[in-house]
Structure 1
Amino acid sequence: MTWSIVARDPETGHFGIAVASRFFAVGAAVPYMRGGIGAVATQAFVSPLYGTEGLAMLGEGRSPREIIDHLTGRDDGAQQRQLHLIDAGGRNAAFTGTKCIDWAGHIVEDNVSVAGNMLAGPQVLDRTLETYRQHASLPFADRLLSAMDAGEAAGGDKRGRQSAALVIYRDQDHAWLNIRADDHTDPLAELRRLYAVAQERYLHVAETMPTRDNPHGMIDRTEIDRKIAGLEAQRAAEGRQSASFATPWTPT
């Protein structure tokens, strides 16, 4: 009922998962990540334990293949499940149970894997991965979204569309970006809109947040306020409307 891409940006070490499905709130069920540790996608007949325990084992330094063997080997329902994951060194592995609904399968390459079930056919994964490879010059988020758009154009989930999500972790335990369209007629297009909204303000504010190396973050917000105001002025000068549905704010 789902297909997803799990990737590590080799230049930055950042992790990303993009996923789409004809299922409600797929972003609440599939992606698990931790900065500097790894990323896990658990799908088909989802087991949240594959996500939580998979991440814990990645944190212990265990290999993706070893983790898959451990998790599926103790699970009587494993043949109805699908799992793919990657670690901080770019090692990855995938598993598709024999009872996953056709079409189902996965592809694993350096620093990226794609997996899906209940798809229109293998071309969905082929086009997703091909487009990801072809767009190496794009920012990581755009690259993941372009890959998913290509998979959708190739047929996507054979039942239709409902939800999608994009999650990116940098080097922290919290997400740098986590956007979801939980119930939408065109969820990937909605993700594009949400990503555009995030670029207007949110992602700039995210750069000011405290980190392990800098627990204070940016205390003086003057610089970030100036940057956001400049972006808003540029958008207005170009005649572009905000992508946001937020109500106008009038300072008092």
Structure 2
Amino acid sequence: MTYSIVARDPSTGDLGIAVASRFFAVGALVPHIRGGRCAVATQAFVNPLWGIEAADRMAVGEAASAVLADLVARDGGEAQRQAHMIDAAGDIAAHTGEDCIDWCGHVSGEDVSVAGNMLAGEAVIVETLAAYQSAADLPFAERLLTAMEAGELAGGDKRGKQSAALRIHRGEDYPWLDLRADDHADPLPELRRLYDVAQERFLHVAHVMPRRDDFSGLTDRAPLDAAIAEEDRRRAQEGRGSRSFATPL
């Protein structure tokens, strides 16, 4: 009922997951990321404990393949589960249980894995992967969205559309970006809108938030306010207004 992409940006080490489904709030259960260390997507007849445990274990150095093999061995429902994961070195492991609903399967490339179940066909994951690999010139978030849109054009979830999510971590256990369309007629374009709104202010704040190696982060608001003002000027020059639904300041 879902397809997802799990990837590592080799130029930055950022880890990201994008997912779409004809299922409510898919972003609540599928993506699990530990900043700078690993990313895991757990789906199909979802067992969220796979995502939590796999991410925790990989974060302290266990190999993705060993962790996944252990989860499969312990879970009596593994034939209905699907999961794929990537670590900080780009190593990938994936599982599609034999009872996952057709079409189901997974593919991978360097620093990227795509998996899905209850899809219109194999082309969904093949086109998702191909689009991601062809979009290396795009920012990481846009690259993930572009890949998911290609999968949707190839048929996506064979039952239709309802929710989608995009999560990216930049070295921290809190997300740099975490977008969700939980119940929407066209969730991937809604993620595009949310990403555009995030660039107005939110991502400028996220860029200067405290980090493991800088507990205070930016404490002088002046550079932040200047960056946001510059963003406003740039959008005005390009003739682009805000796409936010927020009440005016």
Q: Scaled by the length of structure 2, what TM-score is found?
A: 0.98
d(CA) in 1 for partners of 2:91, 2:238: 44
Alignment of 1:173-212 (within 5 A): 173-212=173-212
* Aligned twin of 1:139: 139
Whole-Å Cα distance in 1 between the matches of residues 76 and 118 of structure 2?
Answer: 21
Answer whether contact 2:7 2:15 (CA < 8 A) is retained.
Answer: yes
Paired residue type of 1:212: R
* Residue of structure 2 equivalent to 1:61: 61
TM-align CA RMSD: 0.8
Greater shift after overlay, 227-236 or 189-198? 227-236
Counterpart residue identity of residue 63, structure 1: A
Amino acid corresponding to residue 98 of structure 2 in structure 1: T
Q: 2:73 maps to which residue?
A: 73
Runs of 4+ in 1 over 2 A off after TM superposition: 236-239
Task: Give the Cα–Cα distance (whole angstroms) in 2 for the partners of residues 113 and 238 of structure 1.
Answer: 36
SS in 1 for 2:40: strand
Deviation at 1:234, TM superposition (A): 2.6
Q: Distance in 1 between matches of 2:230 and 2:14?
A: 28
Matched, 1:121 2:121: yes
Q: What TM-score results when the alignment is normalised by the length of structure 1? A: 0.97
Report the CA distance between 1:241 and its aligned residue.
1.3
1:94 aligned onto 2:94: yes
How many residue pairs are counted as aligned between the two chains?
Answer: 249
Q: How does 1:11-22 map to 2 (within 5 A)?
A: 11-22=11-22
Within 2, Cα distance between the matches of 1:237 and 1:144? Answer: 28
* Structure 1 position 227, deviation (Å): 1.4
Aligned to 1:235: 235
- For the 8 Å contact 1:27–1:165, the answer to whether it is kept is yes
Q: Distance in 2 between matches of 1:47 and 1:109?
A: 25
Checking the alignment, whether the CA contact within 8 Å between 1:93 and 1:108 is kept in structure 2 is no
Check conservation: 1:41, 1:83, Cα contact below 8 A: yes
Question: Deviations along 1:195-243, whole A, 9 cap, x unmatched?
Answer: 0000111000111111111111111101110111122123223332101
Gaps of 5+ in 2: none
CA–CA distance in structure 2, aligned partners of residues 237 and 208 of structure 1: 25
% identical equivalent positions: 61
Q: After the TM superposition, which of the residue ranges 62-71 and 226-235 deviates more from structure 2?
A: 226-235
C-alpha distance in structure 1 between counterparts of 2:185 and 2:220, whole Å: 42
The answer as to whether partners of 2:34 and 2:56 remain within 8 angstroms in 1 is: no
Aligned AA for 1:44? A
Deviation at 1:60, TM superposition (A): 2.7
Q: Name the counterpart of 2:224.
A: 224
